[in-house]
Structure 1
Amino acid sequence: MLSTGALRAHLLAARLAGVVATSREVSLRSYRLFAARDPRVLMGLDPEWSWRVRDLVALMADKCGVSADPAHVSGLDVIDPERTLRGLDAFGERIGVAVDRRAPVLIGTGHPHRLLGFYAALADALSAAGCAVLTPAHGRRVDITTRFGLRTYNLDYVRGVALVREAGAPSTGRETGAHTHSPLPVRTALAAAAEAGGPLPELVIGDHGWVCGAGQLGFEAIGLADTNDPALFVGEAEGSVSVVVPLDDAVRSDYYRPLTRYVLNRACL
């Protein structure tokens, strides 16, 4: 188990926090699209409030530690490691509550190439602690509109973690799936669980559309998000998302292992 100081140093060294790879230009583009309510960046969220770009810059400065100066329009974004640590503390504490309740959970990712290992370790620990890790709609077709047109995917689970694969891709239990921001996979999973008579998750863990889509439907959701993913932080600000951890969500997968250990320790697992 890393100490808080050692984890802070790891966050900075791995560029999970501090100066991250996400550019200010990319983040600002996401904020403009969110303000215009582009579904690609809403990720299934239907915001209650009116969000202008300057509002989003202020929110992301508060939640992540990015520059609050609207005139700062280029360069690399910055995430405050103290905010990441606080987010990880809250994330682990909420998982601990689920363990105490032996609550059913649903875990899914739109970033399987980077984050599958992080979530799979959580799924293993939650299952061992007596929580049902749900796998509804396994193999179900999901049609998602992308910038390349309509793509057909299948919902799959690897070590209890939901992801989508292109239709026809082999399900090996090891290979990772497609990157997506869409809320359609979580909606498909939740609908299938309801159709089967339950159980329904008391907690949804993930990123992108898995968190926003579940939160919008009234399920408690916690997750990870980068500086160009304002939807999760808006959801947290409006109360539809419980916890968001600000970090770079696209570094090497092994860099997330210390975070897994930290979160599980925080959850007393």
Structure 2
Amino acid sequence: MAPSREELIAHLVATRMAGEVATPRENNLAHYWRLSQQDPGYLLGLDIGPEWDAAAIFDLMVRKVGIRPRRDNLRGVDTIDPERTAAALDRYAARFDKALRQRQRVLFATGHPQRLTRMYQRLARALSEAGGTIVTTGAGATWDDQTHYGIQHLTIEYVQGVANLVAPRGAIHTHSAIPIQLALDALHRAGEPSPDLVVADHGWCGGAAQAGIDAIGLADCNDPALFVGEEIGTVAVAVPLDDGLAPDHYDLLADYILRDA
């Protein structure tokens, strides 16, 4: 049986996916400033325009995410409002349900391979069972790029329908929009249309949205770009939650998203 909204909210708070979260306040504020400076590592592939200074981003995150609203609160625990998470998940579920009903072509990808791949795989299976198409364009594309471990050779790989970015040490966390750009380029070179929907996060989501594709994404309170993208109408849905928890914590979210499937 699919969880109720009340059960969802209880789960969000119990796991600290929302409510008081592990992402520290000082990290959030630093990232808002970096985004305001148009740092490519924080834009997540989006063009947000020059008007988004740190104060405007902060105000947006109070309204859309539910971070603590006092500007002089500079350190310690920060928050995500579980009611805002649930409301965003309702919008996310509605868009994904459309993909199921219309048997759309959907690309699934994550910049958090150790955390979110399992949830996206569940959604991908549901799409396949509904008669939709899982898009796996760009598999095997390679390039060299800067990572936390220096310049590494990177590859796009799909794991049960979900794209990950892989380095020599294995799948890696990434904010980069380069992978989705390469994947879309490969699709267009093959003469195929863009996906109807991209279900992703980080630069996979932002880059797809910037390319004009419907994109729905999960984002932590220290990743403000997707929320700005939603505010300006580029990103279809941005869901606020802690995106770095154990994979099984997101199982109930998949149940909730698929409740009408």
Give TM class, smaller chain: over 0.9
In the TM superposition, what whole-angstrom CA distance separates every residue of 1:35-56 from its partner, at most 9, and x where no partner exists?
Answer: 1111010111111351111111
> 1: CA distance between counterparts of 2:5 and 2:203?
30
Partner of 2:11: 10
Partner of 2:187: 193
Q: CA deviation at 1:77?
A: 1.3
Correspondence 1:184-223 to 2 at 5 A: 184-223=178-217
> 2: CA distance between counterparts of 1:262 and 1:142?
37
Q: Which amino acid aligns with 1:228?
A: N
> 1: CA distance between counterparts of 2:61 and 2:197?
24
Partner of 2:106: 105
Q: State the SS of the aligned residue for 1:19.
A: strand
Q: In the alignment, is residue 180 of structure 1 matched against residue 181 of structure 2?
A: no
Correspondence 1:52-91 to 2 at 5 A: 52-91=53-92
1:144 touches 1:184 (CA, 8 Å); kept in 2? no
Aligned-pair Cα RMSD in Å: 1.2
> 1: CA distance between counterparts of 2:11 and 2:223?
22
Q: Which amino acid aligns with 2:36?
A: A
Q: State the SS of the aligned residue for 2:134.
A: coil
Partner of 1:43: 44
Q: CA deviation at 1:131?
A: 1.0
Q: CA deviation at 1:199?
A: 3.7
> 2: CA distance between counterparts of 1:146 and 1:61?
31
Partner of 2:154: 153
The answer to which of 148-157 and 204-213 deviates more is 148-157
Partner of 1:260: 254
Q: Given the two structures, how large is their TM-score scaled by the length of structure 2? A: 0.97
In the TM superposition, what whole-angstrom CA distance separates every residue of 1:203-255 from its partner, at most 9, and x where no partner exists?
Answer: 00110001110111111100100000011001001111000110000011110
Correspondence 1:226-245 to 2 at 5 A: 226-245=220-239
Q: Which amino acid aligns with 2:40?
A: P
Q: State the SS of the aligned residue for 1:133.
A: strand
Correspondence 1:116-155 to 2 at 5 A: 116-155=117-156
Q: State the SS of the aligned residue for 1:189.
A: helix
1:48 touches 1:238 (CA, 8 Å); kept in 2? no
Q: Which amino acid aligns with 2:219?
A: A
1:144 touches 1:182 (CA, 8 Å); kept in 2? no
Distance 1:131 1:142, change over 3 A: farther
Q: State the SS of the aligned residue for 1:177.
A: strand
> 2: CA distance between counterparts of 1:61 and 1:249?
18
Q: Kindly, what percent of the aligned residue pairs are identical? A: 45
2:194 touches 2:213 (CA, 8 Å); kept in 1? no
Q: Which amino acid aligns with 2:203?
A: G
Q: Which amino acid aligns with 1:186?
A: I
Q: CA deviation at 1:147?
A: 4.5
Gaps of 5+ in 1: 170-175
> 2: CA distance between counterparts of 1:99 and 1:191?
25
Q: Which amino acid aligns with 2:253?
A: L
Q: CA deviation at 1:64?
A: 0.5
> 2: CA distance between counterparts of 1:251 and 1:138?
27
> 2: CA distance between counterparts of 1:147 and 1:162?
20
> 2: CA distance between counterparts of 1:181 and 1:24?
20
> 1: CA distance between counterparts of 2:150 and 2:47?
23
Gaps of 5+ in 2: none
Deviation beyond 6 Å, 4+ runs, structure 1:
none
> 2: CA distance between counterparts of 1:218 and 1:49?
20
